[in-house]
Amino acid sequence: MTGSGRQPVPHQPRPCPLSTYKSGQGSWPCARCPPGSQTNGTGRTSAEACMCHDTYYELRDASNKLLSCIPCPNNSGVVGFHRHRHEDCRCWHGFVREPASEDERLQYCRPAEPCNVSDLLSNLTGPEAYKLKMGSCEARANSSLLPDGLACSLACNAGFGAQLGSDIFRAVDLTLDCEDGTLVRRPPEGYLWCSEASWELPPLVFLGIATAATALGGAAIELRQHRLERRYAQALKPRPVPRPKRASSGASNDHSTGELFSLPNT
């Protein structure tokens, strides 16, 4: 007699292979898991061990026995242990759900659209020194399209900095970031060019400001130290202590007013 999880063979029982199971003891063969499912090992003893592939969600009975695997919409699947409802199906990376609202039932997942960057690159980049260069976009974008989910940055030649119009101090973001056909990040609108002044002046101004701040900070510390020294010197000066008045004798009064001095405790 063959035990649970083993299939009968002429000489010796063997474990049930992948995608099969056997419950109880007997000479019957191992049962196959429902279509679209498999076990994660051999020798399984019940249909509970059957699990649907990632492109299906599961229909089980009250005892957790797998009844069937229901396919998710195109280009979607389930991840992790939440795989029991249609709502557990999620679009794979690079695909976008339709309809877009999570409150509506998923119908299908379409490929995400690339971003058309042809006009943008032709206006901003060029061989001239004052024109932006492709930077990291050269490896990630062709002459017209930036794929969905990718970001890259334009750049200036060495010794040049990006400048918007005549503003040499503004930091300019040169990133291009595409999400489903839309550039969610892009260089600002306006006359954007590369200039030597934008590269050289901001660091010099920052250095000047930092130097001035250091000098002011040093002067403030010196003034504070001087004030503390004055207060300490004043605290060390002797303070007058009034002498107790003498009692009057006869008709004459002693009008002398002597003073004693004491030093503060240090």
pLDDT tens per residue across span 147-195: 999 999 999 999 999 999 988 888 899 999 999 999 999 999 999 999 9
215-233: pLDDT as tens digits: 566 666 766 666 666 766 6
- Residue 56 confidence class, pLDDT cut points 50, 70, 90: very high
- 153 plus 106 within the same structural domain: no
Cα-based distances in Å from 216 to 79, 204, 207, 224, 226: 60, 18, 14, 12, 15
Q: What is the pTM of this model?
A: 0.58
- 19 plus 63 within the same structural domain: yes
Residue-number span of the structural domain to which 150 is assigned: 115-198
- 72 plus 96 within the same structural domain: yes
CA-nearest of 100, 101, 71 to 88 is 71
Q: Let me know if residue 137 belongs to a domain.
A: yes
Q: Let me know if residue 186 belongs to a domain.
A: yes
- Residue 26 confidence class, pLDDT cut points 50, 70, 90: confident
Q: Contact 133/125 with Cβ under 8 angstroms?
A: yes
**Mean pLDDT for the stretch of residues 70-91:** 92
pLDDT > 50? residue 87: yes
Q: How many domains does the chain have?
A: 2
Strand intervals (E) in 34-170: 37-38, 51-52, 56-60, 66-71, 76-77, 90-91, 95-98, 108-111, 115-116, 145-146, 151-153, 161-164
User: Which is more confident, 112 or 201?
Assistant: 112
